Every structure is written in structure tokens, then in C-alpha cells.
Amino acid sequence: MRLEKVIATALKNARDDHYILSLMVSKRANELAEGATPLVKIDKSVVQLTDIALMEIAQGAILLDKIVED
């Protein structure tokens, strides 16, 4: 999937709010940087952590509710 489509889908999952999406991506990218396993099949050493976070959000693997609770 093209990155533009991933971003558009992730934005929908973040209530169409760019600020919320940036918070979600930031928090998840930090978790990935600290060693969390990606929830999508992808090589963490090749793809940027922020892109992985966007893919996870777009696929619904990371939800806004989970981000708010932590």
C-alpha cells in the first residue's frame, strides 16, 4: 500500500485529527524504539519506526483507546 493511502487510513482511525494521529505515531514509534515487536509483518531494520507505527494504526492494530490508557 502506498504511504499516502496508509496515512489517509490511519488518519481516519485517529478521528480525522492530525494532532491525535501524531501523538499515536509518536508513542508507538517510541515503543518500537524501546524494543516492542511490530504488529505488522515488516523488517524493523529496513523501514522507519514512524512508518511502521502508521501501518499499525492504519490496519487497526493500534487503537486510540490503547494510546490514551497508557
* 66 Cβ neighbours under 8 A, 6+ residues apart: none
Q: What is the CB-side half-sphere exposure of residue 62 using CA atoms within 13 A?
A: 31
- DSSP-derived secondary structure letter, 42: -
d(CA 44, CA 66): 22
In the chain, where the domains are located:
3-69
Tens digit of each residue's pLDDT, the chain (70 residues): 688 999 999 999 999 999 999 999 999 999 999 999 999 999 888 999 999 999 999 999 998 876 655 5
Cα-based angle 49, 55, 60 (whole degrees, multiple of 5): 130
Q: What is the pLDDT of residues 53-64, one digit of tens each?
A: 999 999 999 988
